[in-house]
C-alpha cells in the first residue's frame, strides 16, 4: 500500500480581485515504502503547494490526500518537513531546538533528551548541543532543522528545497550525509519526498523524478532513475538522464483543458531584451553545441535562474535546446552579429512571428483611430488569465520587448500604450 497518495489534488486560490488561480491541478501521485521521490519543476509550478497539501497545511480545493489509505484532515500525523531555512528558536540551544518536536508529541523529558542527543549525533552535530543558533553556520543550522524533523521518527520526510540556500560544498556534504542515513536505513523514515528545481540534485538522490509543468501545475512526466547509489555525476548514464529530463522540462507543455481559448499564448518569460541579446551572443560564441548544465555552471548561475532567459531566446527562435544541448539557430547567429539597428529589425520580426500577445496589442492599437489605448485595458485582458501581479509583470515585459522592437511605446504620463509612430500626448504642444 502507498504510504502517501494524492488523488486528483487540485488547489485553487482566491485572489483579492475576485479572480481565482488554479495553482495545481489533478495531481495524482503516490509515495511507496522505500521510495525517494523528487518533484522537479520551474519556480511557481506549485511544488511547495503540493507538499504543504500533503503535510495537511493547505486543504485541497478538489481531490484528496491519503496517508496509509486514510483521508488526511488537518495536519498529517505521519510527516515531518524540512524547509529551505530552518526556523530555529534563537533563545533555545541546539539540543532544546531538537527536543521541541518531541515535546509537542507529549514524550516525557528523559526520553526526549535521549532521543534528541542520539539524533544530534547521527546528523553530525555532536559537540554543538549547547550552542545557540546564532553561533552556528548556515549549514549547521540546516542540520538542526533536519534533526528536529527526524527526531520524531516520521514515516514520511518532506523536504522543500532544503539544500538550495547553502553553498556548494556545504550542501553537498549535507546531501550525502542524508543519503547515507537513508540508504543504510539508519533512520526509520519509510519514504522521502524532495522538492527541487535542480535536475542534477533530483537525479543524484531520487529513485523517481516527477516533472511538473506550470500554469497550472500538473504532472508532465515521471521518470525512474535506475542507477545504483552512489551515483557518479560524470557517468554517461547520469548525464544522459539529466539531458533527457531537461528536454522534458523544456518541451512543449501538455495540452491544457480546451475550455478556455489560449488567446494570449503562454506567459512571456520574465526577461528583458538586454538579457536575451546578451545570452544569444554568448551561445553564438560557443564553438559547438553545449550542454545546458555546463553553460549554467560556466556562468556560475543556477539553472533555474537562466531558464527564463533560455525560454525567451527559444521562444524567439534564436536558440534551440533539443535534447538538452543548446545551440544557436541561423537567425540567432545573424542576430548576435548584427549592429544595433539590424538587431532591432530582427527582434521585431521574431516578435511578430512568435508572440501572439504582441500581435494582439498591435491589432488593438491599429484599430483605434488615435492608435492609443490605456494600459489598463491590456492589463484587464491579462487578468482574465493571470493573477494581478502576473498580469502587471506580463505587460511590463511586453512593453520592454515592444519598445526595443520599436513597435509600441508606453507613455507614463497618460498611462497609455501607443503605436511607435505616434507622438505621445504629453509631448504635444
Site of interaction with ligand ADP (CB under 6 A): 13, 23, 41, 43-49
Residue number, 84 or 173, with CB nearest to ligand ADP: 84
Residue number, 97 or 307, with CB nearest to ligand ADP: 307
Helix (H) or strand (E) holding 2: none
Check if the beta carbon of residue 335 is closer than 8 Å to that of residue 280: yes
Q: Work out the number of other CB atoms within 10 angstroms of the CB of residue 152.
A: 18
Residue number, 245 or 283, with CB nearest to ligand ADP: 245
Compute the half-sphere exposure of residue 243: CA atoms within 13 Å on the CB side of its CA: 17
Residue number, 5 or 390, with CB nearest to ligand ADP: 390
Check if the beta carbon of residue 86 is closer than 8 Å to that of residue 256: no
Check if the beta carbon of residue 209 is closer than 8 Å to that of residue 191: no
Q: Minimum CB separation from ligand ADP for residue 385, in Å?
A: 13
Residue number, 86 or 151, with CB nearest to ligand ADP: 86
Q: Minimum CB separation from ligand ADP for residue 38, in Å?
A: 13
CA distance 48 to 77: 18
CA distance 27 to 48: 13
Residue number, 363 or 389, with CB nearest to ligand ADP: 389
CA distance 363 to 383: 19
Q: Minimum CB separation from ligand ADP for residue 249, in Å?
A: 13
Helix (H) or strand (E) holding 252: none
Q: Minimum CB separation from ligand ADP for residue 394, in Å?
A: 13
Check if the beta carbon of residue 249 is closer than 8 Å to that of residue 211: yes
C-alpha 310, offset from chain centre:
15
CA distance 259 to 22: 14
CA distance 224 to 353: 38
Burial class (CB in 10 A: 0-12, 13-18, 19+), 160: buried
Residue number, 47 or 372, with CB nearest to ligand ADP: 47
Amino acid at each position: 500500500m502507498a504510504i502517501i497518495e494524492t488523488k486528483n489534488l487540485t488547489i485553487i486560490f482566491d485572489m483579492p480581485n475576485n479572480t481565482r488561480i488554479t495553482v495545481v491541478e489533478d495531481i495524482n501521485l503516490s509515495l511507496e515504502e522505500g521510495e525517494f521521490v523528487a518533484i522537479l519543476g520551474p519556480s511557481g509550478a506549485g511544488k511547495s503547494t503540493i507538499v504543504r497539501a500533503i503535510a495537511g497545511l493547505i486543504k485541497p480545493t478538489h481531490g484528496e490526500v491519503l496517508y496509509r489509505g486514510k483521508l488526511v484532515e488537518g495536519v498529517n500525523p505521519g510527516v515531518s518537513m524540512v524547509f529551505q531555512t530552518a526556523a530555529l528558536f534563537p533563545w533555545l540551544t541546539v539540543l532544546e531546538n531538537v527536543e521541541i518536536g518531541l515535546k509537542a508529541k507529549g514524550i516525557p523529558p528523559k526520553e526526549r533528551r535521549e532521543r534528541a542527543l542520539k539524533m544530534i549525533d547521527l546528523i553530525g552535530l555532536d559537540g554543538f548541543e549547547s550552542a545557540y543558533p546564532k553561533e552556528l553556520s548556515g549549514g549547521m543550522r540546516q542540520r538542526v532543522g533536519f534533526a528536529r524533523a527526524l527526531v520524531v521518527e516520521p514515516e514520511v520526510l518532506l523536504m522543500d528545497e532544503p539544500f538550495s540556500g547553502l553553498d556548494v560544498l556545504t550542501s553537498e556534504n549535507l546531501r550525502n550525509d542524508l543519503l547515507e542515513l537513508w540508504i543504510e536505513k539508519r533512520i526509520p523514515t519509510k519514504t522521502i519526498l524532495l522538492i527541487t528545481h535542480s535536475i542534477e540534485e533530483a537525479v543524484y538522490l531520487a529513485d523517481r523524478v516527477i516533472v511538473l509543468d506550470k500554469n497550472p501545475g500538473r504532472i508532465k512526466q515521471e521518470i525512474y532513475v535506475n542507477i545504483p547509489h552512489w551515483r557518479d555525476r560524470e557517468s554517461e548514464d547520469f548525464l544522459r538522464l539529466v539531458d533527457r529530463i531537461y528536454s522534458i522540462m523544456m518541451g512543449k507543455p501538455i495540452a491544457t483543458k480546451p475550455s478556455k481559448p489560449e488567446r494570449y499564448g503562454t506567459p512571456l518569460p520574465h526577461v528583458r531584451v538586454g538579457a536575451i541579446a546578451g545570452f544569444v551572443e554568448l551561445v553564438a560564441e560557443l564553438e559547438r553545441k553545449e550542454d545546458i548544465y555546463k553553460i549554467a555552471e560556466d556562468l556560475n548561475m543556477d539553472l533555474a535562474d537562466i531558464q527564463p532567459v533560455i525560454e525567451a531566446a527559444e521562444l524567439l527562435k534564436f536558440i534551440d535546446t533539443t535534447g538538452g544541448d543548446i545551440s544557436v539557430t541561423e537567425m540567432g547567429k545573424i542576430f548576435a552579429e548584427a549592429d544595433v539597428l539590424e538587431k532591432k529589425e530582427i527582434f521585431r520580426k521574431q516578435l511578430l512571428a512568435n508572440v501572439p500577445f504582441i500581435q494582439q496589442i498591435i491589432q488593438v492599437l491599429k484599430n483605434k483611430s488615435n492608435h492609443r489605448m490605456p494600459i489598463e485595458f491590456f492589463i484587464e485582458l491579462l487578468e482574465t488569465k493571470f493573477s494581478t501581479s502576473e498580469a502587471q509583470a506580463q505587460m511590463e515585459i511586453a512593453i520592454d520587448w515592444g519598445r526595443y522592437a520599436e513597435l509600441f511605446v508606453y507613455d507614463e504620463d497618460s498611462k497609455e500604450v501607443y503605436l511607435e509612430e505616434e507622438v505621445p500626448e504629453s509631448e504635444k504642444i
